[in-house]
Structures are given as C-alpha cells and as structure tokens.
A and B are shown apart, each in its own frame.
Chain A
C-alpha cells in the first residue's frame, strides 16, 4: 500500500496524466496559432512606424485616437452596418420561410429543392462574387434581361452607383447565405415532433398560428445562433466588397475588413493602425453578440 502511493502512481492518476499528455499538442497548437497571434496583434495595435521596425506609439493609444478622425473608417463602419441592418433580417426571414415550406410532409422532390437552395453555400466566395460582378456589369446579363422584357429603357450602371452597388452586395449576400441558415432551421424543425402540429390542427390552429406559436418558439435557440453567426459574418465581410465592387464607387461599398486590408496591402503599409481597427471589429462583434444573447435567451 505505502509503496504504491509513494513511488508509483495509482492507475487513476496514471490515466489522467496520459490524458493530459494527449491534450498537450492540441493545446500548444491553439496557443501558438490562435492566442499568441491575438496577443501580438493587441501589442501591434499600440505600435506604429515602419512594419519591420515597429515602435511603441506615443501616446500609447495613438492609433485608436486616429481612428476617431478617420473619415474612410467611419464610411466603412456605416456601410458595414447598412449591410447588417438590411441583409441579416431579410435573410433570416427568407431562410425561415424556405425551411417551413420544405418541412411540409406532402411536398414532393424535397431533396431537389433543398439541394438547390443550399447549393450557393458550396460555391467559393471569390467565384460567386466575380459571377455577380459579370451579371451586374453595364453590358451584363441583368441589364440585357431587364431591357428585353421592357422594364428598363437604358442599362443601369449597377456597380458604379452608390445605392445600386450596395443593393447588389446585399442581393449577393442573401443569395449566398440564405440556404446555409435554412439548413439550420430545417434540421431543428425536423426534431420537432409532428404530433404537436397534428394536435394543434385538431384544435383549429392555421398555418400562421402553427408557425408563430409552435415552430418559432421551439426554434428560438437556433435562431439566436444563426443571428449571432450572421452578425459576426457581416461585420467581417471582405470578399464581396473586394471582388464585387472593389469598395467603390468612391468607397460607397467598402467594408471595415476591406479597409483594414487596404491599410496593410494597398496603401503605405501601416500595421499598427490595421491591428487597432481589427480590435474595434472584435469589440463590436462581442458587444452585438452579448446584446443578442441577452435579448434572445430567456431560459431560466
């Protein structure tokens, strides 16, 4: 007895140690590839100067102070929130409608419809952005179709007008992401017992009542998840702004991430300022998610 507790480990402790040993590689990788860069980025956001010879800013919050005076950053912030406020609700409502339609037990060829709506999510972001750019070009498909059927008399330069360019980005986003959110709704709808709907129908509940009184309350947690994910994704929007409109015309569609990219790679490289801006996005995502959690999650 004494011998085993002194020198040799008990079976249980030994197993625990081996467990920790297996965790080391993953933990080390996460620290090295995720936490270390985050801490470095935070440090860089307080630094300035030439990229290969960064120095602490004086005062330390100089980059953050500049942020307040940066008109392009304000424009990008405004654009990003425009996308967020218009696109996310439309997309989630559409996803909910599609999911409800596809959840109908009498519907035929369900698999085909489901695939069609989900397929956009399988396309690469750059590829679909380029296709949308071609479609909405001055001599592109959209203009020629609208002119053929007589809606337009002369082509619209979609991507060269601040309003329509924003609209094109929002349309593209809705096309790309609605199916993705629909799959979440659909899968959790399928876990709702069909007997509940049958009982409701016997009690005289119509389709709308079923949707608002049964489906949506039961889907609340998943709606919350999709709302947070979409908000998060929209705040970090990059590919569409870069590839579809190049942020133009006159920065009317530039997003925050795109401006950060420009600060690093297009303009005179300014690592410290770019890092500071990305921390602003981090804070915005955290705050918005916290609000949504507070509002949406009423579980006791």
Chain B
C-alpha cells in the first residue's frame, strides 16, 4: 500500500515537472521554423539561417519540414495555445485572412515592429487584416507559361507564337498540336481549379466583391473563364489528373507540352535535369471578350508569420533577412523564388541568363510580368468558395447548366458565411 502511494506521488511529481518545463518556453535564444517544400521554402530558409548565423553564431535555428495542410491542422488543433507551435511558420497567402480572423491568439501583430516599405503592395495586402500586418511577405506567385520547345517545334510552332495571345488563338494552336503530336498542351488537378482561378485573376476578376460578399452567381468573368476551361478539357487540350503527384508526373515524364502556373513551379521543372534546354517561358493567354483581360496573373506564394508568446524579438530580428537583397540574390538560382521585396530586382542573379531555359533571363522576365498582374480581392472564406467553384466546374463539365451550378456555389458559400 505504501509503495503504491509513493509510486503515485512520484508519478504526479514527474508529470508536474514536465508541465512546468513546457510553460517557460519564451525568450530562449532559439528559433523553430515550420515550412514546406524542400527545393523552395526550406532551401530559402536554410540559406537565411546560414547567413544569419554567420553574424549570430550563438542563435540556434531549427527548420522543420511540415506540409502546409499539417501546419494548418496543427494551428487549429492548438486552439489558440501557442506552446505546441514554432516561433515562425509559413502561411499560404490565401489562408492568412482565415487564420488571423479565427486565431488572433496565435498570430502576432507585427505592424509596428517590422519595416514594410518596399514590398510589393498587392502581395503585402494579402497579409493585412483590419489594417494590421500579420506577415512578412516572401515569394511572388507570378504566373508563367512554361513550354517544351522541342514538342512545339514538332508541331511547327515556337514560343513566340504563344506569346501575347488570347485563349481563342491558344485553342487553335492546342488543337493543331494535339493533332500533330497527340499531346495535350496542359495538365492540372481535377476539381482543384488552380487554372480557373489563374484565368479569373488575369482579367481582374475575383470570387468576392469588394465588401467581402461572395461573387459567384452571375459573375460574367467567372462564367467566361469556366467556359474556356471546360472547352479545353472537353477537347483534350487540357488533361485533368486526380492528384498533385500525377500533375507533377505529367511534367516529369513529358506527357504534356507545358504548364501555366505560379513561377514556383520552375523549381520543380529545373529539378528535371534530363529536360535542360528543352523549356522556355512566356506569358499566359488572355481572356477573350472580357473587360480588363491581361496576359498576367498570380497563383500561390506564401508569407512568414510570427507566433505569439514565443521569442518574438529574435524572430523579427531573424526575419530582417527578408529585407536583404544579398539573401534574395543568393537563393534565386536554386529555388527560383521571386522576391516580393522590390529592391531585390536589381540583384545580379535576377538579370542573369538561365541555361536550363535556353539562355532566357527568366527571372527578369518574371519580375516584369509581376508588374502587370491585376490586383485581387480575397476573403477568409477563400477556400470555401474555391471548393464550391471546383464542384461547379466539375458538374458543368459533366453536362450541368453552368448558371445554376454557379448559383448553387453561391448559395453554398453564403450558407457557410452565414454562420
């Protein structure tokens, strides 16, 4: 009996100590960082760590690979208790609004503690909630169209033929290429609507109105985009696959002519060493018969957030690296991460020619594209609306009436917003 009681007491003591140890984890001179993508965000952070530690050798920096979905799940599971979270975490640009609105306890308001001058205004706007800044902008998702020049050549085209065109001309070329080579021009994940939203932003459209209400039903721009997209899919010019891996697979095994996506996709393309010299980039086709149509858009990109109740001063000091032109210059060749910090544009690597892309100075080109991207309206309900648009696109593709499908998407999104 005595033994049992003493054992129980010991157990309570041990548990108590463990609880104590966890509580006091604030300014400990150590940084933990969560981000995803080894060839991109992690590679960039490793470089930042190396450069920062050169001046601050006693600061310990721990970069952990955590997938974007997992970071989001863990923040939700933390339910506002930051003790299980890192000092700095990466957030998808379109998730910031949702997470800051729902978990203000987690995300530190850095408005007065960080210098936000010289960042691209459109990018910076995504991490501003109620006029306060919640993130240090990182990469731009400026859209590029990357094409396999060898395949185009087989069909008698060059990248110049695909530059500054509209989707009507693109469909003509696509049909011709498909006939001559049997290959689809593009690929993408079914129901994920990346391409649809890229096209929508290229003509200044959005799923939301300025006042934050959903803008799906009767959205003429969205309708025109979905019509064009579904024509491509129906004619086999755009092949829909079921997962992200399959999408990357279509690029790596060369079963499509090219892709239209955020410029971060170039880090994946450049990792396919056997395809060096076979690629070139240009701008995307513009929508036809739509006001404000351009050849430029944006997809993806992410932002660093600082977590509350952690070593905030150290985290902010470390993130000064993201105002350092030399840093952006150093990470560019390997990651193709295009800075949203404008002074970085003059760094030497930005104007260098890329061997992989037949000597095209791709980074200078992308930066130039970036200047013409129309601004976008986002919302905390971005992913809700996105999922509903995906359903509408798929149903319309299978023969549903687009107007009523978009009405359903509108109703479903308003239903969620109505809580």
Contacts and interface: CB of A to CB of B under 8 A. Distances in A.
B416 A268 contact: yes
B190 A51 contact: no
Contacts of A250: 191, 390-392, 394-395, 398
Contacts, number: 86
A137 B246 contact: yes
B115 to A, nearest CB: 30
A246 B191 CA distance: 10
Interface string A241-273: 000011011110000000000101111111011
A271 to B, nearest CB: 9
Contacts of A162: 398
Contacts of B271: none
Interface string A67-82: 0011110000000000
B383 A248 contact: no
Contact of A138 (B69, B191, B241, B387): B241
A267 B387 contact: yes
Contacts of B101: 50
Interface stretch (B71-79, B119-127, B284-292): B71-79
A219 B396 CA distance: 49
A70 B415 contact: yes
B415 A133 contact: no
A116 to B, nearest CB: 29
B384 A138 contact: no
A52 B100 CA distance: 12
A289 to B, nearest CB: 30
Contact of A266 (B80, B240, B387): B387
B231 interface: no
A72 B412 contact: yes
A212 interface: no
Interface in A33-83: 48, 50-52, 66, 69-72
Contacts of B105: 52
Given A137-B242, A250-B394, A265-B76, A48 B387 contact: no
Among B101, B102, B242, B398, residue most surrounded by chain A Cβ atoms (within 10 Å): B242
A126 B408 CA distance: 32
A270 B391 CA distance: 21
A66 B390 CA distance: 23
Interface string B237-252: 0001111001000000
A168 B321 CA distance: 50
B419 interface: yes
Interface string A153-184: 00001011010000000000000000000000
Given A133-B242, A137-B242, A265-B73, A249 B191 contact: yes
Contacts of B383: 266-268
Contacts of A265: 69, 72-73, 76
Contact of A269 (B102, B392, B412): B102
A100 to B, nearest CB: 38
B103 A249 contact: no
B98 A268 contact: yes
Interface string A277-291: 000000000000000
Q: Is the interface of B mostly helix, strand, loop or mixed?
A: helix
A51 B103 contact: yes
A34 to B, nearest CB: 19
Contact of B419 (A66, A262, A266): A66
Contacts of B79: 51-52
Interface string A133-159: 100011000000000000000000101
A250 B409 CA distance: 11
Nearest to B405: A250
Contacts of B411: 71
B76 A69 contact: no
A155 to B, nearest CB: 11
Contacts of A70: 415
Given A133-B243, A250-B391, A267 B416 contact: yes
B361 interface: no
B167 interface: no
B381 A51 contact: no
Among B79, B394, B395, B419, residue most surrounded by chain A Cβ atoms (within 10 Å): B419
B347 to A, nearest CB: 38
A51 B100 CA distance: 12
B380 interface: yes
B59 to A, nearest CB: 31
A51 B102 contact: yes
Nearest to B400: A250
B182 to A, nearest CB: 13
Nearest to B240: A160
A268 B239 CA distance: 30
B242 A66 contact: no
B246 A249 contact: no
Nearest to A62: B419
Interface string A222-237: 0000000000000000
Nearest to B69: A265
A85 B269 CA distance: 46
B251 to A, nearest CB: 14
Contacts of B418: 66
Interface of A: 48, 50-52, 66, 69-72, 133, 137-138, 157, 159-160, 162, 245-246, 248-251, 262, 264-270, 272-273
**9 closest Cβ pairs, A-B complex:** A250-B394, A52-B80, A250-B391, A267-B384, A248-B191, A159-B242, A249-B394, A250-B395, A160-B190
Given A72-B412, A162-B398, A249-B394, 4 more contacts: A51-B79, A246-B243, A249-B190, A267-B416
6 contacts: A51-B103, A157-B240, A160-B190, A249-B398, A264-B76, A268-B416
